[in-house]
Structure 1
């Protein structure tokens, strides 16, 4: 995402606050998954058609759960591979502001690591 926002990992027990309403991430994802219903799929197919993407499939297309039969030709491959295409949406949270730096009992600053691997490197280095 642009504008200097940084994504963070979210767990199902984390909570989102939308002003007057708060929801656990797990409930939010479940509601989105339940919303992936035939009406939404019909709307998606209509919009794809308006954009010039025609999917010749039965009226019971299933983008979100079972997927739609198709074939793929990947770069470097000698032949087409049969499979399904499925739409999956992820829930991501992007931090707007950096957390205020916290100091521990040794008065050293604790900041968010530059890389998720930094914590692992530090732990390995401490064990050696």
Structure 2
């Protein structure tokens, strides 16, 4: 992402703070998945159609859960492959680079701590 932001991987146990409300990433993703109902799919199909992409599909086909039957012809393949197109939404968090520098400097301090084996090494050296 531009504007001095860097992507950070979100885990299901991470917490997002939207001012007055905080949610675990897992709950946020579940709410998004549940929100993908037929109204959203109808809107998507209409918008695709206005962009010149017309996909004929039977009723109760689901872009987000089950996928839509189609075929693909990839470069180098000898024939079409049957499968499904399924849309997946991911949750991404972009941290400001300034925060990343602070985090990275904190992590470098942690890695410079003594190893638990350092005491053993000193004891062995003292004996020799």
- What is the TM-score with the length of structure 2 in the denominator? 0.76
- The unaligned stretches of length 5 or more in structure 2 are 112-128
Match for residue 39 of structure 1? 39
Match for residue 12 of structure 2? 12
2:106 aligned to 102, 106, 118, which one? 102
- Please give the root-mean-square deviation of Cα atoms over the aligned residues, in Å: 1.8
For residues 25 and 54 of structure 1, the distance between their equivalents in structure 2, rounded to whole angstroms, comes to 34
Question: Is residue 2:80 matched to residue 1:80?
Answer: yes
Deviation per residue, 1:68-123 (Å, 9 max, x gap): 010000000110001110000110111113242338xxxx7459xxxxxxxxxxxx
1:29 alignment partner, SS class: helix
1:23 alignment partner, SS class: strand
| Structure with the greater alpha carbon radius of gyration | 2
Task: List 4+ stretches of structure 1 deviating above 4 A.
Answer: none
Deviation per residue, 1:12-51 (Å, 9 max, x gap): 1111011111111010000001011111111110111111
For residues 80 and 102 of structure 1, the distance between their equivalents in structure 2, rounded to whole angstroms, comes to 52
Match for residue 117 of structure 1? none
More helix by share: 2
Number of aligned residue pairs: give it.
Answer: 107
- What is the TM-score with the length of structure 1 in the denominator? 0.76
- The unaligned stretches of length 5 or more in structure 1 are 112-128
